[in-house]
Amino acid sequence: MMSCACSLRETYQVSISFHHFPKDETLRKTWIRNVRRDNLVIKRTTTVCSRHFLSTDVIQGGRRRLKEGAVPVLFAWNDYSLSTSRPSVWERTQPPEEIEEEQMNFGFLLQCHDHARPEPSALDMAR
């Protein structure tokens, strides 16, 4: 099982992806410096989770990957703050305008919703 350098485990959230330390020595040193973990031993299975990368650095769709040269920058030591959960529907769109009862056309509703009327009986159909 993979685990993040921040001690988050892969099983906690499906939306989190884990990324291995890069092979490029310069980029790898930058990652190690940014992680700021005492006694961190980089192994083949050592990863950093996607929560430490800017959302613009993570390529979505299928298997999540990092853009070339991406560096983990979101850590508690630098007071990062991620946006809260997805905004509500009313924050993303304009709420519908309130319509006064006098402006409503109920005749149209009655025509469209005649399924609420009782079924005609055999006597009604014979007339």
d(CA 69, CA 22) in angstroms, rounded, equals 9
25 located within any domain = yes
For every one of its 127 residues, what pLDDT tens digit does the chain have, with 9 covering 90 and above?
A: 455 666 555 555 667 889 999 999 999 999 999 888 888 888 888 899 888 898 899 898 888 899 999 999 987 777 766 555 566 665 666 766 777 766 666 666 566 655 656 666 665 666 6
The whole-number pLDDT of residue 95 equals 66
63 located within any domain = yes
- Give residues with Cβ within 8 angstroms of 80, minimum separation 6: 73, 74
72 located within any domain = yes
Q: Which of 36, 44, 38 lies closest to 20, judged by CA?
A: 44
Number of folded domains that form the chain: 1
d(CA 51, CA 16) in angstroms, rounded, equals 7
67 is in which domain, residue-wise?
A: 3-78
Claim: this prediction has a pTM higher than 0.85: no
93 located within any domain = no
